[in-house]
Structure 1
Amino acid sequence: MNISPDQILFMISAANTIASFTPASVFLCPILNVAGQMYGGYLDSQWKMAVEDNLTGINDNLAVLQSTTGLIGLGTGAGATISAVNLYQTIKLRQEVKELKLVVHGGFISLAKALEDQGEEVMRQIDKVADDVEYRHHRTILAQAYGKFVEAVNWLRDTVNLTHTHTKTASFVGIQGKLVDALADYKNPKIYQHNSAVGRLRRLECSWAIYQTITTIYQLQGESDIVSDRLSSLQRQIREELVHLINLCESQEELDFIFPEIARIHNHDLAALKLWQEQVDLMRSLSPEDLKELENACSEKLLTANNQKQEITALAEPPELLLYNELREKSHFLSLRDQLRFVIQPESRKEHESYISQQAKNSNYQGLAPSNWQEVTDLTVANLYWYFKKPKPSFT
């Protein structure tokens, strides 16, 4: 046996973990069960069904993400009303779209209907943004991009069932071109102008979902080298853009919105992308004989796990939101913003640790500079850093 038990265990564990990321748990979009493509029988039945489910989920997620900009608006004018579409509320909206309680029309859902129980202030903000000329221009761009994406997805649904190799290859090329056009619309600089950190986050999430869908096309074509490179690039891009967005955050209201959501992206989406890449990299390292052996060892267990997959409901508040509420009681805006940056860019802690050590020495508070920083929480590092900064921010 050339395949090690550890490799078999990893593939089964990774496939089951990826399969557990439903639209309610993953914020960007659901992740394809990529292991399925490697197994012939699984590809013909269960995996094609998984492709269909995930394409539908991506459609719905994009519609919810871009619809919520109707409350966020442009600039920083939305204020506290943005809490009506925070992480918890957005997950609930996506679940309602999935359950057909909300209808997607032209790439958008009706926020007035979806949030009718959120109060008069929220309704006034929805009406205010709807009358904004610049927002309507942005909405037109996003609707156009969504239309291209839907067209590409419908094309892809047909393509996965094609049997003629050359026809399928040509079709994939056309789909990729359509998705690249949609991505260009979502990345259009005009829809990022004058946007708050919250508004930028929503648009970035849409673009990441499109990028990942393009990567899925390469997966379907068996281009594992390209898939690995693109997944690595996407993880790096997400981290860089999130750090930039964190630096743009200027108010407590914005931080209340983006902190749990970015933590969710880190804990779920980036984790799933990393697993996907590790799966692909393992498959690339195996010979055809080893791949067949792995198929025999894993396929039955993967099928059983997929059939027993349970949907994650959106009834409970996300743990990232609960954690943030706890941190908010123990910290302040500047410290919380640094803690969020530490999550996405762990190396940024080093500068804070060095500053604390130097200031503690200069102030004869050497006991505040631990010998082993690995045992110190991000909360403590950020709070100590701002304790030594002047003027000291209030903790109230």
Structure 2
Amino acid sequence: MLFEFTPAIKAGIEVGKYTEILSNGISIGIVRDTVSGSFVAHADGILVDSYPISPLVVPVQFLMTGVYMVQNHITSSEISQQNGFVRAALQSLQTNLEVLQATIALIELSRTPSIALEAVKLHQALKLKKKAEEMQLEVRNGFIDLQQIFKNQKSEIRQIVKEVVYNDNFKQHCTILLQAYKVFIEAINRLQTALTIQNTSHRYAEFDSAREMLFKVLEDYINSQSLEATSAPGQLRRFECAWAIEQAIIVTYQIQNEVLAVSDQLCHLRNKIKEQICTVINNCESYDELSFLFPEISRICKHDLAILEIWQAQVDWVHSLSEMEMKLLARKNWNTLELASFLDTHQSTTVPLVPPEELIYEDLAKNSHFYSILDQLIFLFKPVLRQEYEVYINQQAHATGHNRLVQRNLQQASDMTIANLYYYFRVRDESNTEETLALV
């Protein structure tokens, strides 16, 4: 992940005139003058593996949200600007939820899972999200019309969409999620209205009420009964909807300027996402599911979680500022509406026909087996598992005379190499054990 700055700012950084601000060990996208300490500029873009950042669930506006927790030091007109930034983020969350929940039925109710998963995998979800942002998709009763969005797809996809829409369980499925969606929309509308209330106590009371509604909505998307009844891809989509709702909850703390609560909730959400993704990975049962999960989980790890990490780092940084620094930051008065638009337009303007994550998966599928690829996904969220594999490989290599597989070399190896080597030695070890037992 790499923040981009204007050529002039970048040149200043290279010669030491400006310094990128770090918090929690990562850049927060702001530079300050090395000598005076004054805040100079914010980033004008962010790249992930040389591609513009393009998250699936987290609004890109959250890249700079944490910086604006300085409401006690700015004018009412500047607060109004910041509220516009918040509104844009809330609208983005609503769009993301609408896109994600529209595909749940196709995943959960289709009698041809392989085709259904192909129809709603990462590249299709990103295309739908882009169309929704550009107001090209109509939402009726909380759902995007499945037959409309897939009308130009190949015949087998159109057929399974038709089967799902006319499935007896489809109406019940939609009814349950629709009830939750209506409460979510009501909560978002209350938040939007609350931003206009002048009386502080009344405004905060509305924020509290909206937050309470959002907490209640969560259960409808990820109740244990629904999660147990669906596949790993279905679980992931339900979790993604829940993550969108939890971000809206965090926004309620943000606009109340509750710095510690925002940081705590962001930390909690990041950990929850990692845990729930590992649950999904462990429930994966087929290559069809894996080809859906790998690209999407990779995108969430490198894009969505990265934004949440930056958001938290910014909040923690603001909390660490002195009173004087807070005033200096507030005085900088970056135009938040302009910044929101800037961040939005600096995302990829077109969705690649094949996202890089899907290309990576295709390569892995040729060189690794099912369980190796699953473990490579888990490595993204549990580095300690990779370390355990390295120790095991080193022990087995030492016992079998593979002298080059020392700890230092293993630490530099790719995740694919480590996972493949682990299973190579594990199969070999188990075979030797079986032969020994047969001789006893």
TM value normalised by structure 2: 0.80
Superposition map of 1:1-396 within 5 A: 6-7=20-21, 10=28, 12=30, 16=43, 25-30=54-59, 31-32=61-62, 33-34=64-65, 35-38=67-70, 40=74, 43-74=78-109, 77-296=112-331, 298-300=332-334, 306=340, 308-309=342-343, 310-312=345-347, 313-316=349-352, 317-390=354-427
Gap change, CA 1:75 and 1:361, over 3 Å in 2 = farther
Deviations along 1:361-383, one digit per CA (max 9) or x if unpaired, are 33322334453432111010011
Question: Does the residue aligned with 1:12 lie in a helix, a strand or coil?
Answer: strand
Question: Does the residue aligned with 2:246 lie in a helix, a strand or coil?
Answer: helix
Deviations along 1:316-358, one digit per CA (max 9) or x if unpaired, are 1332222222222222211111111111211111221122122
Deviations along 1:253-308, one digit per CA (max 9) or x if unpaired, are 11100111111111111111111111111111123222002233x43487775564
Gap change, CA 1:24 and 1:78, over 3 Å in 2 = farther
Gap change, CA 1:333 and 1:269, over 3 Å in 2 = same
Sequence identity percentage: 37
Amino acid in structure 1 at the alignment position of 2:68: G
Paired with 1:129 and 1:24, the residues of 2 have a C-alpha distance of 33
How far residue 71 of structure 1 moved from its aligned partner, in angstroms, is 1.8
Contact 1:71–1:81 (8 Å) recurs in 2: yes
Amino acid in structure 1 at the alignment position of 2:290: L
Which deviates further from its counterpart, 49-58 or 223-232?
A: 49-58
How far residue 126 of structure 1 moved from its aligned partner, in angstroms, is 2.1
Gap change, CA 1:17 and 1:328, over 3 Å in 2 = farther
Gap change, CA 1:89 and 1:75, over 3 Å in 2 = closer
Which deviates further from its counterpart, 343-352 or 71-80?
A: 71-80
Contact 1:37–1:47 (8 Å) recurs in 2: no
Q: Which residue of 1 aligns with 2:436?
A: none
Amino acid in structure 1 at the alignment position of 2:30: I
Paired with 2:175 and 2:104, the residues of 1 have a C-alpha distance of 13
Amino acid in structure 1 at the alignment position of 2:363: E
Gap change, CA 1:231 and 1:43, over 3 Å in 2 = farther
Higher share in strand: 2
Amino acid in structure 2 at the alignment position of 1:29: V
Paired with 1:63 and 1:259, the residues of 2 have a C-alpha distance of 22
Amino acid in structure 2 at the alignment position of 1:28: V
* Structure 2 gap segments, 5+ residues each: 1-17, 32-40, 430-440
Gap change, CA 1:68 and 1:391, over 3 Å in 2 = farther
Gap change, CA 1:15 and 1:65, over 3 Å in 2 = farther
How far residue 132 of structure 1 moved from its aligned partner, in angstroms, is 4.2
Question: Does the residue aligned with 1:25 lie in a helix, a strand or coil?
Answer: coil
Gap change, CA 1:129 and 1:304, over 3 Å in 2 = closer
Paired with 1:360 and 1:20, the residues of 2 have a C-alpha distance of 39
Which deviates further from its counterpart, 44-53 or 243-252?
A: 44-53
Question: Does the residue aligned with 1:193 lie in a helix, a strand or coil?
Answer: helix
Gap change, CA 1:236 and 1:10, over 3 Å in 2 = closer
Gap change, CA 1:303 and 1:295, over 3 Å in 2 = farther
Contact 1:198–1:254 (8 Å) recurs in 2: yes
Gap change, CA 1:290 and 1:378, over 3 Å in 2 = same
Which deviates further from its counterpart, 76-85 or 259-268?
A: 76-85
Contact 2:147–2:161 (8 Å) recurs in 1: yes
Amino acid in structure 2 at the alignment position of 1:357: N
Cα RMSD, aligned residues only: 2.8
* Structure 1 gap segments, 5+ residues each: none
Number of aligned pairs?
A: 387
How far residue 169 of structure 1 moved from its aligned partner, in angstroms, is 1.2
How far residue 251 of structure 1 moved from its aligned partner, in angstroms, is 0.6
Paired with 2:412 and 2:147, the residues of 1 have a C-alpha distance of 48
Paired with 1:60 and 1:67, the residues of 2 have a C-alpha distance of 11
Gap change, CA 1:66 and 1:219, over 3 Å in 2 = same
Gap change, CA 1:307 and 1:62, over 3 Å in 2 = closer
How far residue 125 of structure 1 moved from its aligned partner, in angstroms, is 2.0
Amino acid in structure 2 at the alignment position of 1:230: Q
Paired with 1:19 and 1:174, the residues of 2 have a C-alpha distance of 35
Gap change, CA 1:195 and 1:227, over 3 Å in 2 = same
Paired with 1:63 and 1:294, the residues of 2 have a C-alpha distance of 36
Paired with 2:342 and 2:256, the residues of 1 have a C-alpha distance of 28
